[in-house]
Chains A and B, each alone.
Chain A
Amino acid sequence: MLSDSAALSGAVYECVDTARPDDFPYMYFEFMPADRSLLPALSLQTLTGDPVLTRFMDGSYIGQFRFAVYLRMSADDDESRLAASALMEQVTSVVAGGTYTLPTGFDYHRITQDTLPRLISVDEGFYDYQVTFAVDYGKKKG
């Protein structure tokens, strides 16, 4: 299961990176830039959770890869914060409707949205928004 997360992180990152709206010139993996010239930025982070949803008698299983997509904006007024919410809705729609190609050995099942987009932190003028997803996949015992 450890190798599942490592293998899926890169694949899901690439899929989200491919699908991201043009409003975001930058995308990162588990990193949020502190340089305002690089905003708005998207970032993908893997999340913890039970990696196996269903275990079968032959050793195969249905696994789940959970991840969060963050949006960091420098939003100084209500108008820009409302714009951030609209952008987050757009990001959510794109990620939830994306096409996910997983590495060999993984069967893609579906993607579900776990939480609603929300503002999770405000720090030194940086507004960070988060929405979380889960990719269900099948892995056969080799």
Chain B
Amino acid sequence: MIPIYSEQLQYWLDISDAADESGYENTAGVLTWTPSATLSEYKPAFLERAISPTFKRTSGYTIDSQFAAMSDEPTHEYFIAHEDMTNVVTNVVRVDMFDPVTGGYRARRAAFYMTVAPLTQNANEPFKIPPTFNMTDDGWTHGVFNVDTRTFTPDSEEETVTEEEAVTENAGE
């Protein structure tokens, strides 16, 4: 048994205000990072069945986090610049460092709205930054993240190209 520790799960944040994925930075100084999904139930009525199955759907996905402020961390500078701002558009990539693949590591990306609540502080310790992220995408997009080039490549990208090529080829026949 080989445990996977928290340090092997990285969260990269796009800190380019354009949210065009040009500014991925690894988060550091993370005290807590707590993703949670809100699930809702629904029961479709199947007349031909005695018992209707219960389905669940994700109706919300939120990440609550807390950082110990550091003066030399780009993500912290980004948070402080957006303190008290709501619904700042950004992207979050979760990188599974325990799962290396060709071109990087297994990863998943989603667009989020970020809200940074006021900074809090206690005596004799770094002040705390409490960003909250609310997912805007319809779930995670799976892919590969290259930590050297800081780029995310979705798995579906190659499939999409293949489909387009197939359509073009079919049209030409």
Contact = CB atoms under 8 A, between A and B. Distances in A.
A141 B125 contact: no
Which of A57, A138, A140 gathers the greatest number of chain B CB atoms within 10 Å? A57
Nearest to A141: B7
B149 interface: no
B29 interface: yes
Given A54-B68, A54-B125, A60 B29 contact: yes
A133 B27 CA distance: 31
* Interface residues of A, dominant DSSP: loop
A40 to B, nearest CB: 33
A59 B125 CA distance: 18
A53 B30 CA distance: 14
Interface residues of A, number: 11
Interface of B: 5-7, 10, 26-33, 68, 70, 125-126
Interface of A: 53-54, 56-60, 62, 138, 140-141
B31 A58 contact: no
B21 to A, nearest CB: 21
B114 to A, nearest CB: 18
Contacts of B7: 57-59, 141
A101 B43 CA distance: 66
